[in-house]
């Protein structure tokens, strides 16, 4: 029955490539997986819905982070950053792409708003991108790097949550390892991400590309895309609110409490009038609501595959064939991780599943704890970039498609799949061999 996983994920991928709505593609694939394992239509739907609750915490976190980001945007401080990028980096495509990757990286560790900043920061820059003839696929590659590499390599913010999941997964399945060792094990796969970023922006998408609808041969001017904003007391208080949100998130390890603290602080400091509360909440839900629901449905898909035993049988069948051939085992496990994660769409939701299945196989084959951590972490990260259901692709698309000129599958998912999954696979395999 292990073949069900492959068929279900391929079905979801094909439907998305045919431009079927992501949510519908996941629902159809989940029901199909249930039917293939002997469940009825009603049972398949009920199993999928029961699994949606597993990601309720994550979905609520994103809604509140979206509200926090909308509140921050209301203060005008985001426009200061847009102004800086526009004035300093206009005409400097490579530097702008690296800067966007850097800003996205900060959203994972320093200011953990994750993808919530993208719909606020990117749309004001789209007109400038078009005038610079910048390939938006390069922007998607830069943004996705910032959404993935920091949580893979740095044990802070989302990175701490991700590496804690790896640690817990290994310990609960019989492997002895420390958080510091987990961090070390993920450095080599992280370097694969860096290689993919540089290849994408320096080689693959380096050439000029006129976006549909953009005016060709237009002189680049920033006056029409920059609104002058002077740094003021309210911007200082906004920074204080961001710091408070970060501190609470680090102390409690809870993104919901962190985002809630930031929102309350902005209103308590009267940076945002209380009468605007409903408006800000509505903007936050509108910004992150679709992505949150995709994550919920993806969790239901994962539950269906897990509860029917399809994933377990796929791994067990692979183990019986591979024996103790370490290079081959590492290759196949990473391939399975890619298939599983691209279907589920979230590294964080995949790690517990992969750890429970992979650790016993790796221990039996004689892999070191660091090598196992590298395999589990890389297998979980594989597929996050490139998955139609992943927030690492949905986020960039939400900003780049603000004017309707960016396709989610072909302009975000395919470029990020190529530039990150391939190097992650290679560097993850190397890590499993040398650690």
Q: How many CA atoms lie within 13 A of 193 on its CB side?
A: 26
| pLDDT tier for residue 423 given thresholds of 50, 70 and 90 | very high
Burial letters 282-311, b for 16+ CB under 10 A, else e: ebbbebbeebbebbbbbbbbbbbbbbbebb
pLDDT in tens, 90-144: 778 888 899 899 888 887 777 766 777 787 788 888 888 888 888 899 999 999 9
Structure tokens at 195: 């290689």
Q: Rg of the Cα trace of the chain? A: 22
The mean per-residue pLDDT over the stretch 9-31 comes to 79
Which two three-digit tokens encode residue 1? Answer: 């029955």
- Report residue 55 as tokens: 């990601």
Q: What is the pLDDT of residues 311-350, one digit of tens each?
A: 677 667 766 777 778 899 899 889 888 877 776 666 776 7
**Most confident listed range (77-86, 178-187, 227-236, 354-363):** 178-187
What distance in Å separates the CA atoms of residue 325 and residue 17, rounded to the nearest whole number?
35
Q: Of 54 and 360, which is predicted with more confidence?
A: 360
According to the model, what pLDDT value does residue 318 have? Answer: 67
Higher pLDDT residue, 290 or 188?
188
Can you tell me the distance from the alpha carbon of 91 to that of 208, in angstroms, rounded to the nearest whole number? 11
The answer to whether 350 and 337 have CB atoms below 8 angstroms apart is: yes
pLDDT at 233 over 80: yes
33 pLDDT higher than 80: yes
pTM of the model: 0.73
pLDDT for the residue numbered 389: 74
Q: Considering the chain, what is the average pLDDT of its residues?
A: 81
Q: Using 50, 70 and 90 to split pLDDT, how confident is the model at 26?
A: confident
Please provide the DSSP assignment of 20-49 as one string: --HHHHHHHHHHHHHHHTT--HHHHHHHHH
- CA neighbor of 240 nearest in space, from 216, 265, 222, 260: 265
Q: Given this model, what pLDDT does residue 214 score? A: 47
Q: How many whole angstroms separate alpha carbon 59 and alpha carbon 73?
A: 21
Map residue 323 onto helix, strand or coil: coil
* H or E element at residue 152: helix 136-153
**Which of 310, 138, 278, 294 has its CA nearest to residue 208?**
138
Q: Classify residue 200 by its DSSP letter.
A: I
Residue 9 pLDDT exceeds 70: yes
220 pLDDT exceeds 60? no
**What pLDDT shows up at residue 418?**
92
């Amino acid at each position: 029955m292990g073949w069900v996983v492959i068929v279900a994920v391929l079905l979801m991928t094909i439907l998305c490539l045919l431009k079927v709505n992501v949510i519908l593609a996941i629902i159809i694939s989940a029901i199909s997986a249930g039917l293939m394992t002997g469940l009825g239509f009603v049972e398949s739907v009920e199993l999928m819905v029961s699994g949606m609750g597993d990601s309720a915490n994550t979905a609520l976190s994103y809604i509140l982070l979206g509200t926090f980001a909308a509140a921050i945007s209301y203060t005008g401080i985001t426009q200061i950053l847009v102004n800086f990028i526009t004035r300093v980096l206009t005409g400097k495509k490579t530097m702008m792409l690296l800067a966007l990757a850097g800003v996205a990286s900060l959203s994972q560790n320093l200011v953990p708003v994750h993808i919530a900043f993208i719909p606020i920061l990117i749309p004001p820059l789209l007109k400038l991108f078009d005038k610079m003839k910048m390939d938006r696929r390069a922007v998607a590659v830069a943004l996705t790097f910032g959404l993935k590499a920091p949580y893979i390599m740095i044990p802070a913010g989302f990175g701490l949550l991700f590496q804690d999941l790896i640690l817990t997964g290994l310990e609960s399945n019989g492997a002895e390892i420390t958080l510091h060792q987990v961090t070390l094990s993920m450095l080599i796969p992280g370097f694969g991400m860096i290689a993919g970023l540089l290849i994408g922006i320096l080689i693959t998408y380096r050439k000029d590309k006129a976006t549909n609808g953009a005016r060709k041969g237009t002189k680049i001017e920033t006056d029409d895309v920059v609104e002058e904003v002077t740094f003021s007391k309210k911007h200082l208080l906004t920074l204080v609110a961001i710091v408070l949100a970060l501190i609470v998130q680090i102390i409690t390890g809870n993104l919901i409490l962190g985002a809630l603290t930031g929102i309350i602080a902005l209103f308590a400091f009267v940076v945002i009038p209380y009468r605007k509360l409903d408006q800000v909440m509505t903007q936050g839900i509108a910004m992150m609501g679709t992505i949150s629901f995709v994550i919920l449905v993806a969790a239901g898909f994962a539950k269906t595959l897990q509860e029917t035993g399809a994933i377990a049988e796929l791994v067990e069948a692979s183990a019986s064939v591979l024996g103790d051939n370490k290079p081959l085992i590492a290759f196949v496990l990473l391939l399975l991780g890619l298939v599983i994660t691209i279907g589920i769409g979230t590294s964080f939701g995949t790690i517990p599943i992969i750890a429970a299945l992979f650790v016993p196989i790796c221990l039996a084959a004689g892999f070191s704890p660091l090598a196992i951590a590298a395999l589990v972490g890389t297998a979980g990260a594989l597929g996050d970039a490139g998955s139609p259901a992943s927030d690492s692709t949905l986020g960039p698309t939400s900003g780049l498609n603000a004017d309707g000129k960016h396709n989610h599958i072909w302009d975000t998912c395919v470029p990020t799949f190529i530039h990150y999954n391939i190097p992650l696979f290679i560097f993850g395999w190397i890590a499993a061999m040398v650690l």
